[in-house]
C-alpha cells in the first residue's frame, strides 16, 4: 500500500476518479477468476481505453506495473479500493422507500463494500413502520433529529424532484458529508457537502442517439 500513500497529497482529477470504480470492478472480476497479473494493454483492450490512459491514471497515485510484467491484479485492486474508501465503513440514510429506494436498499453488494444503510425515511404513512433493509421505515418528520444524533456520511435521495432540495439542505445543515441523488435534477455541490447525481435518463438518451447513428 506504500506506493499509493506516497502521492495521496496530490489531488486526483475527477475524470480519473470516475474511472477508478471501472478499474476496481474489472480487477475484482479478474480476482474471482484467479488471474494474478494483467498487462496495461490487456486491461486497456478489455475496458475500451488506451494503455497510455491507464498508465497515466494510475500514475496519479504511485508507480504500479512493470514493463514486460504488467500489473499485479490483487495489489492494484487493493490500492484502488483504499483510494476509493471501499471497505472503510460509511453510514448512510435512505430518503424515499419507493421502487427505486427499495432497489437501492436491497442491493447487497453495497453492504459488502462497507456502505451501510442506518435508517430509511418516507412521507407515505402506508410505508412508515414497515421494514426495508433491516430498518423500520421512519417518518420524514424524524429525519433532522436522526441526523443530529447520528454520524451519517451519505444521504441517499430517492424521491421526486419537488422535495429533493429541502431534504438536500437538511442533509447539508446536519453534518452529512455527501449526497447520492437519484432525483432527476442537478443539486449543486455546496461548500460543506459533496453531491453525486445519478441521471438514469441521460444514459437512455445516449443509447437513443447511438441506435440511430451506429
List residues near its own copies by CB under 8 A. Answer: 11-12, 17-18, 20-22, 24-26, 83-86, 90, 98-100, 102-104, 106-107, 109-110, 113, 115, 153-154, 177-178, 180, 184, 186, 194, 196-214
Give the count of beta carbons closer than 10 Å to the beta carbon of residue 82: 16
Task: Tell which residue, 77, 53, 78, 76, has the closest CA to residue 66.
Answer: 76
Residue 70 or 96 having the CB closest to its own copies: 96
Closest CA to 39 of 60, 11, 68, 59: 68
In the complex, least distance from residue 73 CB atom to its own copies, rounded to whole angstroms: 17
Residues in the chain: 214
To its own copies, the closest distance from the beta carbon of 2 in angstroms equals: 19
Q: How far is the CB of 41 from its own copies (least distance, A)?
A: 17
H helical segments located in 33-60? 40-47, 51-59
Least CB distance to its own copies at residue 69 (A) = 25
Q: For residue 107, which of 46, 26, 198, 175 has the smallest C-alpha distance?
A: 198
Task: Give the shortest CB-67-to-its own copies separation in angstroms.
Answer: 27
Q: Which is nearer to its own copies, 114 or 123 (CB)?
A: 114
Q: Are 15 and 22 in contact (CB under 8 A)?
A: no
Shorter beta-carbon distance to its own copies: residue 142 or 194: 194
The backbone torsions φ and ψ at residue 53, rounded to the nearest 5 degrees and listed phi first, read -60, -45
Of 26 and 146, the one with the shorter C-beta distance to its own copies is 26
Tell me which residue of 70, 24, 64 sits closest to 47, measured CA to CA: 24
By C-beta, is 35 or 194 nearer to its own copies?
194
Give 62 or 184: the residue with its C-beta nearer to its own copies: 184
Nearest Cα neighbor of 153 from 117, 118, 177 is 177
Smallest distance from its own copies to CB 180, Å: 5
Amino acid at each position: 500500500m506504500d506506493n499509493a500513500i506516497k502521492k495521496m497529497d496530490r489531488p486526483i482529477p475527477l475524470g480519473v476518479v470516475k474511472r477508478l470504480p471501472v478499474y476496481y470492478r474489472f480487477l475484482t472480476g479478474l480476482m474471482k477468476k484467479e488471474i494474478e497479473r494483467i498487462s496495461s494493454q490487456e486491461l486497456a483492450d478489455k475496458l475500451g481505453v488506451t494503455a497510455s490512459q491507464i498508465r497515466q491514471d494510475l500514475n496519479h497515485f504511485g508507480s504500479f506495473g512493470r514493463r514486460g510484467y504488467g500489473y499485479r491484479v490483487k495489489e492494484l485492486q487493493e490500492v484502488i479500493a483504499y483510494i476509493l474508501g471501499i471497505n472503510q465503513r460509511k453510514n448512510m440514510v435512505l430518503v424515499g422507500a419507493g421502487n427505486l429506494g427499495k432497489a437501492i436498499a436491497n442491493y447487497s453488494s453495497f453492504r459488502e463494500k462497507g456502505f451501510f444503510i442506518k435508517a430509511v425515511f418516507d412521507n407515505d404513512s402506508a410505508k412508515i413502520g414497515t421494514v426495508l433493509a433491516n430498518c423500520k421505515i421512519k417518518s420524514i418528520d424524524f429525519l433532522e433529529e436522526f441526523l443530529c444524533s447520528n454520524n451519517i456520511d451519505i444521504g441517499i435521495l430517492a424521491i421526486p424532484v419537488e422535495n429533493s432540495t429541502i431534504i438536500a439542505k437538511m442533509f447539508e445543515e446536519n453534518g452529512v458529508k455527501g449526497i447520492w441523488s437519484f432525483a432527476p435534477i442537478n443539486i449543486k455541490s455546496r461548500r460543506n457537502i459533496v453531491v453525486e447525481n445519478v441521471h438514469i435518463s441521460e444514459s437512455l438518451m445516449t443509447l437513443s442517439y447511438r441506435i440511430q447513428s451506429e
